Amino acid sequence: MLSCVALMEANQGRLLAWRDFRGDVSRLALVDFGQRIIRTRETEVCPIATRAGSSFLFVREGDIFIVASTRLNANSLMAFEFLNALVHTIRQYFGGVLNSDKVRLGYTLLYAILDEAMDYGYPQVTSYNLLKDFILEKGMPKDPRAILALREKQKNLTLDVTGAVAWRRQGIAYKKNELFLDTIENVSALLTPSGEMLFGEVSGRIVMKSQLSGMPECKLGLNDKILMEQSDASAYGGGAGVGGVASGVGGPGEVSRPQAVANLGSKREVALDSLKFHQCVRLKHFEATKEIMFVPPDGEFDLVQYRLTESGQVKLPFKVVPAYHQPGRTRAEMTVKVRADYPPALAGYSVRIEIPVPKTTSAVKTEQTAGKSKYDKARCVVVWKISEFPGMTEATFNMGVSMLSTVADKAWEKPPIKLTFSIPMFTSSGMRVRFLKVFEKSGYAPTKWVRYLTQSSGNYECRI
């Protein structure tokens, strides 16, 4: 049970907007929290703060904090789940971006969302798919037929909100029924100078975009080790790949060519550390059968989030072996070899390798077997870019460094080499969709698409 929700500036702690639901936490308490906690950067220590008998729970989004306050012993996990859902909904209303400027320009819309999202401190409706039918961004339509259609939708709002499937409204219809499933993984790793892995972790999510008519039920199977032990994997087929219709998803022995390519880098079983499901997943059915059964919301949503932290289970897509040699005080040489350890049928794209150089560097001469490089003097790095990196190939980078002679020469700290990349149809965890089935009373056959993507945003490092 929460007392109020507020939005505050992250830099100065100013109060931008707030809605009081119970009347037991004053505006002055929020102002004091902004000046004493946010402005003094104490928010970097813990996401919960207590002042004058009031507890403040907060999450950051861009340059603002979304704060919930209570004077009772409220469920903190529920509060954070509510705040994250509220941020997601407001971001969708504000065009995908939530910042202080958007808040100042959209006070009316913001307060309408807060009024529907919570009532007397209890969370109510935080789904954008439901709110968009009665919180209208552009006001009432002028066309009489559009007004009648909107009224028909609003007649079922109470049933949609309070029914067993609150995340999906009745009467959804599409001319073409399609279901998109993307398995997106972010891999983090730390390699030794010889290319051996010291640390490896995969954080993944299965993103679904549903464009299905009616009230369909979907069944999804993964090659997670726990799931595989409970069911016979041979009873199901593979998924579809990029640009391929998943006609074989859910049928035995039918595997599309893109899916066969994806299977080259996958494992039969994956021992995941944790699984987090969307609220639409039937947990009791999952516990009993180890199959993910759900009625999907309309539009895009995160169906599953998972983690793999056991380094021995992580398959690294790139092996990096640097060699640094400094024959004199003003001269150094470095060679970096990068090998793609994924199947030759796959390719990595937008590969970016940042190679550090000493701060006293005056000139750099580079030579590479693939891509192009550029010296960034302000950041003291050489950026090596390869637009396309085929699997099971190797690229070599040679660099000569000229340095200025200084009075007090300090040993170079040798920051790590950093990689960013994107590899379609490959997963570092070996995650694979075994089957995807859709059941709907009208009996239509939807088009299903399944894709895989592994990427890194700078946490893939190799020591020199």
Digit-coded pLDDT (tens) for 295-315: 999 889 999 999 998 878 899
**Do 178-233+268-314+427-462 and 318-424 come out as alike in CATH topology?**
yes
Q: Dmax over Cα atoms in the chain, in whole Å?
A: 82
Distance, in Å, from the CA atom of 403 to the CA atom of 333, rounded to the nearest integer, reads 11
Beta strands, E only, 142-286: 178-191, 197-211, 217-222, 274-277
Topology at the third CATH level for domain 318-424: Immunoglobulin-like (2.60.40)
- Whether 451 and 425 have beta carbons less than 8 Å apart is answered as yes
- The CATH architecture assigned to 4-126 reads 2-Layer Sandwich (3.30)
Distance, in Å, from the CA atom of 95 to the CA atom of 39, rounded to the nearest integer, reads 28
Q: Does domain 178-233+268-314+427-462 correspond to CATH entry 2.60.40.1170?
A: yes
Q: In this predicted structure, what is the pLDDT of residue 159?
A: 54
Distance, in Å, from the CA atom of 197 to the CA atom of 426, rounded to the nearest integer, reads 19
> What are the residue boundaries of the structural domains of the chain, listed by start?
4-126, 178-233+268-314+427-462, 318-424
Distance, in Å, from the CA atom of 113 to the CA atom of 98, rounded to the nearest integer, reads 14
Non-local (6+) Cβ contacts of 184 within 8 A are 204, 205, 206, 207, 453, 455
> Bridge-partner residues for 170, per DSSP?
none
Q: In this predicted structure, what is the pLDDT of residue 226?
A: 53
Q: In this predicted structure, what is the pLDDT of residue 138?
A: 64
Residues listed for the chain: 464
* Low pLDDT (below 70) residues in the chain: 138-142, 147, 149-164, 225-268, 407-409
For residue 92, give the DSSP letter: H
Q: In this predicted structure, what is the pLDDT of residue 310?
A: 84
Kindly give the interhelix angle for 76-93 and 107-117, rounded to the nearest 10 degrees: 140
Q: How many Å from the N-terminal Cα to the C-terminal Cα in the chain?
A: 52
Distance, in Å, from the CA atom of 69 to the CA atom of 135, rounded to the nearest integer, reads 25
Q: How far is CA 245 from CA 220, 346, 453, in A?
A: 16, 19, 17
pTM to 2 decimal places: 0.72
Q: In this predicted structure, what is the pLDDT of residue 132?
A: 77
- Whether 21 and 30 have beta carbons less than 8 Å apart is answered as no
Q: In this predicted structure, what is the pLDDT of residue 163?
A: 56
Q: In this predicted structure, what is the pLDDT of residue 184?
A: 96
> Bridge-partner residues for 265, per DSSP?
none
- Whether 26 and 41 have beta carbons less than 8 Å apart is answered as no
Distance, in Å, from the CA atom of 140 to the CA atom of 153, rounded to the nearest integer, reads 13
Q: In this predicted structure, what is the pLDDT of residue 228?
A: 47
